Each structure stands twice: as C-alpha cells, then as structure tokens.
Amino acid sequence: MKNVLRSMLIATFLLFGSISTPALHASSEGTMAVVQGVTPISISKAKELISEGAYLFDANEKEVRDEYGHIEGSVHINVDNWQDLLPKDKNATIVLHCLNRICYISSELALEIQKLGYKNVYVMIEGIEAWIMNGNPVVKTQADNIKKFIGSGNWDKSSAVHDTTDSIHSQMYFGDVPSCRSCHGVNVGGGQKSIMQDFASLKSTINKNCTECHQKAATSLENSVHGKSMKADAPKCTDCHTVHRGKYTSVINMKKESDRLCGECHQKERSLYFNTFHGKAMHLESANRAITVAACYDCHGKHSIHGADNSMSTIAPGKNRIDTCASCHPGAGETFSNITMHPDPSDGDEYPIMHAGLLFMHGLLIFVFGFFIIHTALWFYRLMATRAKYPKEWKEAKEKAHSDSVKIKRFSKFHKIQHLFLAASFLGLGFSGLPQKYYTADWAQGMIDLMGGPIGATKFHHISAIIMGIVFFSHLFEVAFVAYKNRKAVYVDGKFSWGMFWKKFFGPDSLMPNFQDFRDLAENFKWFIGKRETMPQFDRWTYWEKFDYIAVFWGMGMIGLTGLALWFPVGASEIVPAWLMDLCTIFHSEEALLALGFIFMFHFFHTHFRANKFPMDMVIFSGQLTEEEMKQERTPWYERLKESGDFDKFVVREDEFTPGKKKFWFIVGYAIVITGLVFLALIINAYF
C-alpha cells in the first residue's frame, strides 16, 4: 500500500512539474536549465565565434562584473539603454553570458534581442565563473583603495555581523517583509536572487538591493551632495546604514550611532560639533537613554543632503535654515539661524571675532593665575619661614588670638546665609558644568549619569544658577537698602555731596579698591621677599578680599549674562547680534574655569590654608573674630574704631557660636573645601 501511494505522489509531482515549467528543458551542453528559444553554447564554441568577429555582451550585474572582471572586448549590456549597444546589422553574431549555469539574465536578454529581429544570438551558458575556472584570462579594473565588503568580506565568518538579529526589518509584521536574500542576493534572472559567498557581503550588491525597496530615499541620495560626488569613497547605503545591530538596538540610540557614522568621514566637523552643547550631550548620553538634542541629520538632512550654498539645503541661509532651527527651537529667527553651530575659535582667519575672544580669555586666565600663583607661593614660603624662625612666638600669638574671649562682629547672620547658599550653588554649578566642559575626561560620564544624563545635568545647572542669582540680587538689594538707610552720611549741610559720596565709596569701610590697597600689596610683597621684618597691617577689608568681592560682580556679569543667553538663545538672539551669541559660549566656559580655579586654589589659601589660619578660619560661619585677631592683623581698623568711639558697637555681647555649632560648621566647611579640592583635581586631571 505504501509503495502504491509513493508511486502516485511521484507521478503527480512529475505531471504538475511538466505542466508548470514548460519553458525549461535539459540542455544538450549538460547545463541545469535554459530558457526555451535560446541557443546555448559551450565556452569553446563561444571562443570560436568571438575569434570570427562575434559581438560579446556581458549581462552580469555591475557588482559581479566589477568583482570577477570581464572578458576582453565584452560590452556590459546590463544597463538601462542596452538596446543602443546592439550592432546595426541584424545578421551579426551575438554571444551573451552572465555569471553561471543558474543565472538566467543572459538567456532572458537573448530572447529580448531576438524579438528585435536579430537572428544569430547565442548564450555561453556556463558564464564567467566557468570561463575563469578553465584558465581563461579576464580584465579587472584597478581596485580602488576602499573597503568593498561589509566586515571581512567572508560571508561565513563576517566580523561585522555581531548579532544576526535584524533590528530594523524584524519590526515589520505586514507587507513585503525582506528576507536575507532580499538584501544579500544577486539577481540571477527570472525575478530571483541567489546568495553567493563572493557577493553576499559586497557593498555594491547590498546597496543596489536597498534601492529596490527604498526608491524615494535612493532618488534623494542620488541627487544629494553624496550621490553627485565623483569620489570613489562617497557614502552609499551601507556606509551609513546597517540592520544587524543586535536585538537591543533601537531608535533610542540611533542618533548617537548616526553621529558616529557621520564622523567617520567628517572627522574635523565632528570634533568641532563636540565643542557645542549638542555634541557634548550626544557624547555623554548613556546608550540606553534616548537623546533629544540635535544629531547631524537633524540639521543637515538625511538622504537629501546638500552643501550650505545650495538652495535645496536644509542649512541654506535664509528661510531653509530658519525653518530647520525652528523645528527644535520654536520662534527662532534669522539672527538665531546665523549663530555659528560648530566653529573653530582657534582659526583666526575663519572666525576672527571668536578667535579674539578666546585670546582675551586665555590672556585673562594666564594673568590672574600667574599673578596669584606667585603671590600664594611667596606668601606660603614667608609664613613657613617665619613659623620656623620664631616657633615659640608663633604658637603664643596663635593661641592668644583664638583664646580671647572678646568677640568682634564681622558678618551679619544674613551674610552668613548668603555665603552658605553662594558656596552651595557654586559647587552645584561646578558639579554640573565640569563634566560638560571636559566631556572626554574619564570621570565626566560618571558625574553626568549621577544627574540623570546631560539634560538632567542642565537642569541641575539651571537650578544652581537660579540660587546663585537670588543670592546676588539679595546682596544688591541689601546694598541699596543700607545705602538708603545711611544716606545722610553723604549729605553736607543738608544736601547731597558728590565729594562725600566718593569719599565713602572708596573709604576704608567700603569693599571698593583704593590707593591704599595698592600700597598694602606693595608692602606685602616686600615682606614676602624679606624687605621688611613684619607682615603689614590691614584695615577692615584687605586687598585680596576686595579682589574676591569684585570678582563676584565681574563673574556674575560675565557668567550670568552669557549663561542666560545660552539658556534662552531664541530670546537672546532677538536682542543681540549673532556674533555676540557666538562669544557667549567662549566667555561662559572660560570665565567659569577662571572662577573655579581661583576659588579652589587662591581663595581657599587666603582664608583657610595660610599657616596662621590652618586648618580653617571659622569667621564666615561664626560671623566674628576675636579682639586679639583684630589687633594682630587689622590694626588700622581697630585703632580707627577706638578713636571714633564705635568699637563697642562691634563687640558681641552674647556669643551664640557654641562649641557644638563650631564643630558642626567645621564639618560643613571642610566638606565644602574638600569638594572644591576634588573639583580642582578633576580639572588638572582633564589636562594631564
């Protein structure tokens, strides 16, 4: 019974096979199959006809012809205008070939040629593969010095296929879902494709297959600056796209990947892009988070990319560029669109204004750091030398200053609160700003991740800036309030006096610098280098304290205003020109570095690390110093208060700074100092 059923199935299969494939038959040359109506010939017969003057046409796909080479004298006929390549004489002998015995392109084309009236048409059915294997010569075009294959070019062991999961097409559930051969197969005629080891990883094969499905994208690419490029290494589909990215790859990290791919060719542009907020955020965003900042293609387009001087470009000056900017920055106008997106400030010829701004800031950094490094080093040496020379007197003076029970008020409770929030916001700005400035440092990514990524760090930065702004404006309000309250001090005979105003403005109780500060500076340097025996005495405010104070106003003006412009670029661009917006990035970044470096190196030394103050000067937390400290360091202020009879007004009647509070604020103070020193170490590490 089983044999009967088997015989019936075989008979049925043969019957339907003969009905469904009438155009195929066994070849007399021993080939697998040829199209009915075509005359197949052997290689030897083809060589004979060619020697007699037959026309030889290569029907292979272009990538096959490029890879295998071609028979000398053959004409590539697998093109759009193939009819124009045929001889005028319809009696001419024509020989066609393609890849091998299973390739039908040459046979199909032979039928079409016969329909045009040509009588002597033959197909070398074994194709170029057998021609080469039989030792016959071929002509190969000089190979370009570019990578022709994806990965190693070995289909079986391709290094590019980390995961065979198709992360793009696998998300398609309906319609014509592509298979492996849809992308990696070579056209062999009959509407069929075949995967062959030599061509499956060939870029030209895959690129051509991409265009069969993505026709609109192919047209856009063809008309783009990439498509029109005459360079052999101009990017094609496979240079920017790949589907085998693994099952964990998705649109979440596609932006970051696309920027990396663009940067492989546009290395300089990519390095400059990373100097912008967009680039730094792109670099610092973790792979498992979706980034929202602009990637290369958001501004320059995807397939239809054109040079900026092309009216079709998305970044062409005028309406196109404005529309591109406004797609992410609603309300952006012409000035905003003219802001330089990724400039090179070191290039003075191309960006003269930004270059000048960079030179100015670098000069300021060198001057300030250079001066205070010398100042601090000499001061440190002089203090240590004095301590070593007079150890007994040093110890007695320090103990006497700290043990004095008479306390003098130096800062109000409001001042102490202001300083605490100023320090906290300053550290917050440093914590959120440093990893963005030094985005390539080893420590940058970890700090950014702690804040939830670049956007989280930006919010952290903005909150810290708001706190610092509140502190700054609260101080301005305080200054205005105190000035109004004491306005009678600048009146003479009941009238406002400019002379008295300037006297008070630059007087010893003011934080404004005056000529005495320069004299104090000169005397201090004399002491540093041993030209005077004792350290000079200072009034209520020293020259370095005034420098710290003025630096806050300079810094708030420079960092604060540029920060606002960068925070609200659309609104700022309605007020200031584009070139000034370009300078904002430079000034904001470099001035922030100046502020951080100065505070962590010099301010900490002036207030806490001097040998006569170490381990910490608690005056900013207690708001008071002892009378003995005042006598030792600020004799002019002490004598002035005594002479005027105002000394008792500054004496603290009830000391609220208990030992417990002192211990608490010591811990807080050192937490601030240690954090600042860590930031300083990170800055130094970023450069070395």
Q: DSSP letters along 480-493, please?
A: HHHHHHTGGGGEET
Mean pLDDT check: name the lowest of 108-122, 147-161, 188-202, 531-545: 147-161
H/E stretch holding 76: strand 75-76
Mean pLDDT check: name the lowest of 273-287, 494-508, 526-540: 273-287
* Residue (of 60, 93, 91, 64) closest to 78 by Cα position: 60
CB atoms within 10 A of CB 320: 18
Question: From CA 184, how far away is CA 422, in angstroms rounded?
Answer: 63
Can you list the alpha helix ranges (DSSP code H) found in 159-202? 180-184
Q: Which residues contact 579 (CB under 8 A, 6 or more apart)?
A: 353, 354
- State the pLDDT confidence band at 163, using cuts at 50, 70 and 90: low
Question: From CA 486, how far away is CA 466, in angstroms rounded?
Answer: 30
Can you give the pLDDT at residue 525? 97
Question: From CA 59, how far away is CA 524, in angstroms rounded?
Answer: 92
Question: From CA 303, how far away is CA 216, in angstroms rounded?
Answer: 9
Question: From CA 678, how far away is CA 672, in angstroms rounded?
Answer: 10
**What tokens were used for 412?**
């109000």
Can you give the pLDDT at residue 1? 43
CB 57 within 8 Å of CB 49: no
* Span 296-301, average pLDDT: 92
Give me the numbers of helices (H) and strands (E) for the chain, helices first please.
Answer: 32, 13
* Span 366-383, average pLDDT: 96
* Residue (of 328, 66, 348) closest to 203 by Cα position: 66
Domain 2-133 fold is Oxidized Rhodanese; domain 1 (3.40.250)
* Span 451-473, average pLDDT: 95
CB 672 within 8 Å of CB 427: yes
| Local structure of residue 605 (DSSP, 8 states) | I
| Local structure of residue 536 (DSSP, 8 states) | P
Question: From CA 44, how far away is CA 508, in angstroms rounded?
Answer: 111
Residue 86 has pLDDT above 60, yes or no: yes
Domain boundaries, the chain: 2-133, 146-249
Q: Is the dihedral of CA 600, 602, 605, 607 positive or negative?
A: negative
- State the pLDDT confidence band at 167, using cuts at 50, 70 and 90: low
Residue 27 has pLDDT above 50, yes or no: no
To the question of pTM greater than 0.75 for the whole model, the response is yes
Question: From CA 504, how far away is CA 188, in angstroms rounded?
Answer: 96
Residue 13 has pLDDT above 50, yes or no: no
Residue 320 has pLDDT above 90, yes or no: yes
Question: From CA 664, how far away is CA 6, in angstroms rounded?
Answer: 96
Can you give the pLDDT at residue 495? 92
Mean pLDDT check: name the lowest of 163-167, 258-262, 291-295: 163-167
Can you give the pLDDT at residue 177? 72
Can you give the pLDDT at residue 85? 93
Q: Is the dihedral of CA 569, 574, 577, 578 positive or negative?
A: positive
- State the pLDDT confidence band at 597, using cuts at 50, 70 and 90: very high
State the chain's mean pLDDT as an integer: 87
CB 617 within 8 Å of CB 410: no
- State the pLDDT confidence band at 180, using cuts at 50, 70 and 90: confident
Packed helices 454-485 and 277-284: angle between N→C axes, nearest 10 degrees: 130
Residue 12 buriedness (CB in 10 A; 0-12 / 13-18 / 19+): exposed
Q: Which residues contact 47 (CB under 8 A, 6 or more apart)?
A: 136
Residue 202 has pLDDT above 90, yes or no: no
Can you give the pLDDT at residue 16? 39
Q: Which amino acid is at 355?
A: H
Q: Where are the beta strands (DSSP E) in 462-602?
A: 491-492, 495-496
The better pLDDT of the pair 133, 122 is held by 122
Strand duo 407-409 + 192-194: pairing: unpaired
Residue 681 has pLDDT above 60, yes or no: yes
| Local structure of residue 260 (DSSP, 8 states) | H
Most confident of 160-174, 189-203, 607-621: 607-621
* Span 143-158, average pLDDT: 58
CB atoms within 10 A of CB 77: 23
Residue 586, classed as helix, strand or coil, is helix
CB 581 within 8 Å of CB 355: no
Can you give the pLDDT at residue 502? 95
Can you give the pLDDT at residue 522? 97
Residue 145 has pLDDT above 70, yes or no: no
Residue 164 has pLDDT above 70, yes or no: no
Can you give the pLDDT at residue 24? 36
Question: From CA 420, how far away is CA 212, in angstroms rounded?
Answer: 66
- State the pLDDT confidence band at 45, using cuts at 50, 70 and 90: very high
Residue 8 has pLDDT above 60, yes or no: no
Q: Which long-range contacts (CB under 8 A, 24 or more apart) does 329-337 make?
A: 329/569, 329/570, 330/570, 331/570, 332/570, 332/573, 333/570, 333/573, 333/574, 335/573, 335/574, 335/577, 335/578, 335/581, 336/569, 336/570, 336/573, 336/578, 336/581
* Span 298-313, average pLDDT: 91
CB 608 within 8 Å of CB 673: yes
* Span 533-539, average pLDDT: 92
Question: From CA 563, how far away is CA 581, in angstroms rounded?
Answer: 11
C-alpha distances in Å from residue 600, one per residue of 28, 179, 471 = 91, 62, 20
* Residue (of 185, 242, 246, 152) closest to 61 by Cα position: 185
Answer whether the bond into residue 615 is a cis peptide, omega within 30°: yes
Tokens 């009941």, residue located: 494
**What tokens were used for 641?**
């208060």
560-586 pLDDT per residue, tens: 999 999 999 999 999 999 999 999 999
What percent of the chain has pLDDT above 70?
88
Question: From CA 139, how far away is CA 294, in angstroms rounded?
Answer: 48
Can you give the pLDDT at residue 29? 40
CB 54 within 8 Å of CB 61: no
Residue 25 has pLDDT above 60, yes or no: no
- State the pLDDT confidence band at 23, using cuts at 50, 70 and 90: very low
223-269 pLDDT per residue, tens: 999 988 867 778 888 888 877 766 555 555 678 888 888 988 899 99
CB 126 within 8 Å of CB 96: no
Can you give the pLDDT at residue 239? 83
Question: From CA 273, how far away is CA 267, in angstroms rounded?
Answer: 10
